Chains A and B, each alone.
Chain A
Amino acid sequence: GAGVSQSPRYKVAKRGQDVALRCDPISGHVSLFWYQQALGQGPEFLTYFQNEAQLDKSGLPSDRFFAERPEGSVSTLKIQRTQQEDSAVYLCATSEVSGANVLTFGAGSRLTVL
């Protein structure tokens, strides 16, 4: 597609529910990043894929967070047993080269945990 597509755009979850957020990157983009953006803050790094390999997951806040990109294209960020502090906008960004030099961002998935 022409841009990075994220779905759902909005998700409301009850505390304890599992959620899955999807990112469809620009075709052929090698690098894929997930960021978490809390209200009034800049994005915070969660994880980085180069093709299907997850090269860095140091930013995932707990073992309730899991990300995958099995075929090097679509990626899913899964949050298990959601907590209120997980409420944020989750941003996906991709790049046609390795690294974060020039990123194209999706519009984000806004998660609200009640």
Chain B
Amino acid sequence: AQSVTQPDIHITVSEGASLELRCNYSYGATPYLFWYVQSPGQGLQLLLKYFSGDTLVQGIKGFEAEFKRSQSSFNLRKPSVHWSDAAEYFCAVGTANYQLIWGAGTKLIIKP
């Protein structure tokens, strides 16, 4: 069955520290992969996407993600977080028939 797992419900990091949010997927074919961010009262915003090619993709706000086929993972990273990065982050897999399968999200908390 197709699924997306975000193992961490909450992650707390200090401002200025590095960040890695984990995402594992189960999908039979080559997936389209996405990371979205949702701030309170805001719509989901696309951070970055992977369709093909270079497995390290750059996104907005200084985020990057690496597709590792052997590990079925697409982890999101940022070298130095800012307080404004506090939000909920969702990983999603795009299937051949246009649907998105979403993870349950990881809530990022920033310590001052």
B interface, CB within 8 angstroms of A:
4, 32, 36, 41-46, 49, 51, 90, 92, 94, 97-100, 102-105
Contact = CB atoms under 8 A, between A and B. Distances in A.
A98 B96 CA distance: 12
Contacts of B32: 101
A100 B94 contact: yes
A103 B98 contact: no
A91 B98 contact: no
B100 A102 contact: no
A8 B65 CA distance: 35
B98 to A, nearest CB: 4
18 contacts: A3-B43, A31-B98, A40-B105, A41-B104, A42-B90, A43-B100, A45-B99, A48-B99, A56-B97, A91-B43, A91-B44, A100-B94, A100-B100, A102-B49, A103-B44, A104-B46, A105-B44, A108-B43
A40 B105 CA distance: 8
Given A102-B46, A105-B43, A41 B105 contact: yes
Interface residues of A, number: 24
Contacts of B36: 105
Contact of B44 (A44, A93, A98): A93
Contacts of B102: 42-44
Contact of B98 (A4, A43, A100, A104): A100
Contacts of B99: 45, 48, 56, 100
| Cβ-closest 7 pairs across A and B | A42-B102, A105-B43, A99-B98, A105-B44, A107-B43, A100-B98, A100-B100
